[in-house]
Amino acid sequence: MSCHPPDTEAPGPSTIDLKDQNVCLVGMPNAGKTTLMNALTGGNFKTANYPGVTVSLLRGRTKPEFGASRNLIDLPGVHSVVAPSPEEELAVQVIEGKHAKVKPDAFVLVVDATQLERHLKFAGMVARQKKPTVVALTMMDLLPRTRLVVDPARLAETLGVPVIPVDPRTGKGMEDLIGELDLVTRGTSVPYKSNALAELPREPVAAFMQVRNLLRQSGSVMHSNEADSVTAKIDSIVLHRYLGFPVFFLVLVSLFAAIFWAAAPFMDLVSSGFAMVGNLVTSISPDSVFVRFLAEGVIGGVSAVAVFFPQIMILFFLMTLLEDSGYLARGATLVDRPLSFLGLHGRSFVPMLSGFACAIPAVFAARSIPARRERLLTIWILPLMSCSARLPVYSLLLAALLPAAALTAGLSLAAIYISSLLVGALVAGLAARVFLKYRTPSLLAMELPAYRVPRMWPILKMTWARGSSYLQRAAVPIMIVSAVLWLVSNFGTTPERFIASTPKDQSFAAQVGHKMEPALHPMGVDWRVGVGLISAFAAREVFVSSMAIVFHIENTDDDEQIKKSLLEQMQTAKFPGTDQLIFTPSSITGLIVFFFFSLQCFSTVAVVRKEMNSWRLAGFQLLFYTGLGYALAVITVQSLRAFGIA
């Protein structure tokens, strides 16, 4: 070859611009893709959503020390292309170049060294695309725990693709991986003699046979079918006939403890922080309607969401921790029998558990359930799980119902929580049989990954990515709803003119409340409670603060003070123009029943609509639960009164 001046370099493969190329991380679940993503991006990734699909992908850019900055996309793991879940379907679409938005330029194929047969069989599908591909061989550190032997260099020769052993947990092999990726993308790598991986048959039985032959040629020893020694030991306890459930309940109790007690101080911090900002804004110009709108409607609305943020972050953190350690799949295995009887899936326990914190992350968590029918049913019952927004409402109502009996109130609260789970089970079982014609469950075939000590940094990054994605998606609808509700409860019309900042009993909300009176009387309450119930659709706990507003409680700085003076007001509140008390044992019980069932959360409705891509379903769910709550509240109040309990 003659030398040529550098400025007239011929356009060739080496001029391919690597910058901004889309590199997709693909592989089977639990291969270590997300850990690799974390190592390659330096933790700089976030979840990205695409219109039309409910699956979110992780996107990030390669760290600067890895040369040209490329887009990294972590595709959901694929178990099988047969009867794929939505996540698997999306990954397959992208791999095959059929996705409208995500076009891969190169693949990093993440392959678990301890499960070469299954992972290489999947790899065949990726290699068939004839795109630049590098195999990242993970879990090499687990090999000493087993009797397996893998030689990456010989494996590469046999398969016809570069194979780079990596340990994303320590960062080992990252430079090699990127270097090799540069070479194959530019087309300057030394070609392999074989093209075996790309020529794997599509038919699974033949493909597995071929993979085994290739592995034999590459000198890998894959004769062992035993779990690694650590996994085998832990499973002998976790799946034990008598110890399995005690361990499971211990895990659940710790989760609950963390969500409710550990989060409490942070929640107080957030709520007092927002109260301070609100007061600060109000102090600018206390009489201005706009400033009050900003402080109460907008900031108050954000505060209503943000107060649950610590709790949800802790939830995401612990769920990611459990998932990464490998325990989650075992938990799902333990409870699959009762749940599949109800038409749910073993994995439904994760969203159900999350539902006790908040239905919104719970709806997202339902994505891990492969079959649509089971996912639908799980999402259907999530609003019944006693979310933490109900807690302030229940604590107010129970304090009003049982003023001098803290212990009884506490036990009643526990009973409400347990009942919400049991009623959820009942509704699921009935809905599965009535609406979904449930006969047989869809295939479980759930992989139980090897146990690994979770790495904190990637988990924290993942928690942050999920948490901020939650905030973005939940905050906007809640803010809008809260702002609108503030406007309707602070503005109104009188016969003469439109008045800003009308007294509470003449606002639009009060007018709606008055119109609703015929419907509210059977529940044993008046229009003021109706205003509280309407405003609770922004978030259930708003019921407390809006009750404080309609019952003219001033001094809104201290939550305890509000509750105390509100309780006093409630004890004496009477129906206008009569001596009849509003808050009697029967009407309070009715309200508790209403909050137990009713889907008073527009954010949940919005999220379910998006997740299931159906307004009809989300609307039906809203009407079903709110109608059910109302009907059962009326029945409760009327039958209590029939039995002589006022």
Q: Does 144 bind other proteins (CB under 8 A)?
A: no
- Which residue in the set 101, 216, 233, 240 belongs to the binding site for other proteins (CB under 8 A)? 240
Q: Does 241 bind other proteins (CB under 8 A)?
A: yes
Residue 16 token pair: 């391919």
Least separation, in Å, of the C-beta of 442 and other proteins?
8
Is residue 58 helix, strand or coil? strand
Least separation, in Å, of the C-beta of 207 and other proteins?
9
- Which residue in the set 448, 536, 562, 622 belongs to the binding site for other proteins (CB under 8 A)? 448
Q: Which residue, 121 or 473, has its beta carbon nearer to other proteins?
A: 121
State the DSSP string of 506-564. GSHHHHHHHHHHHHHGGGT--HHHHHHHHHTTT-TTHHHHHHHHHTT----S-HHHHHH
Are 530 and 517 in contact by the 8 Å Cβ rule? The answer is: yes
Q: Which residue, 346 or 355, has its beta carbon nearer to other proteins?
A: 346
Give the residue from 170, 171, 228, 29 showing the smallest Cα distance to 112.
29
Q: Does 8 bind other proteins (CB under 8 A)?
A: no
Are 537 and 481 in contact by the 8 Å Cβ rule? The answer is: yes
Q: Does 334 bind other proteins (CB under 8 A)?
A: yes
Are 637 and 508 in contact by the 8 Å Cβ rule? The answer is: no
Q: How far is CA 447 from CA 28, 38, 106, 331, in A?
A: 10, 23, 28, 12
Q: How far apart are CA 547 and CA 566, in angstroms?
A: 8
Q: Does 83 bind other proteins (CB under 8 A)?
A: yes
CB neighbours of residue 426 within 10 Å = 14
Q: By CB under 8 A, which span of 115-123, 255-263, 394-402, 419-427 interacts with other proteins?
A: 115-123
Least separation, in Å, of the C-beta of 399 and other proteins?
40
Q: Which residue, 155 or 263, has its beta carbon nearer to other proteins?
A: 155
Q: By CB under 8 A, which span of 360-368, 412-420, 446-454, 598-606 interacts with other proteins?
A: 446-454
Name the pairing type of β-strands 163-165 and 133-138.
parallel
Q: How far apart are CA 624 and CA 91, in angstroms?
A: 35
Q: Which residue, 123 or 601, has its beta carbon nearer to other proteins?
A: 123
- Which residue in the set 59, 70, 79, 563 belongs to the binding site for other proteins (CB under 8 A)? 79
- Which residue in the set 121, 390, 461, 528 belongs to the binding site for other proteins (CB under 8 A)? 121
Q: Does 227 bind other proteins (CB under 8 A)?
A: yes
Q: Which residue, 392 or 449, has its beta carbon nearer to other proteins?
A: 449
Is residue 161 helix, strand or coil? coil
Q: How far is CA 133 from CA 23, 109, 151, 181, 217, in A?
A: 9, 7, 19, 7, 21
Q: By CB under 8 A, which span of 45-53, 202-210, 268-276, 590-598 interacts with other proteins?
A: 202-210
- Which residue in the set 38, 185, 311, 340 belongs to the binding site for other proteins (CB under 8 A)? 340
Q: How far is CA 101 from CA 53, 57, 90, 98, 189, in A?
A: 11, 12, 11, 9, 29
- Write out the binding residues for other proteins, residues 345-364 only, by CB under 8 A: 346
Are 466 and 358 in contact by the 8 Å Cβ rule? The answer is: no
- Which residue in the set 226, 517, 558, 568 belongs to the binding site for other proteins (CB under 8 A)? 226
Q: Does 80 bind other proteins (CB under 8 A)?
A: yes
Q: Does 208 bind other proteins (CB under 8 A)?
A: yes
Residue 362 token pair: 């719970």
Least separation, in Å, of the C-beta of 83 and other proteins?
5
Are 140 and 134 in contact by the 8 Å Cβ rule? The answer is: no
**Which parts of this chain interact with other proteins (CB under 8 A)?**
79-83, 114-118, 121, 148, 204-205, 208, 222, 224-227, 231, 235, 239-242, 244-245, 329, 332-334, 336-338, 340, 346, 440-449
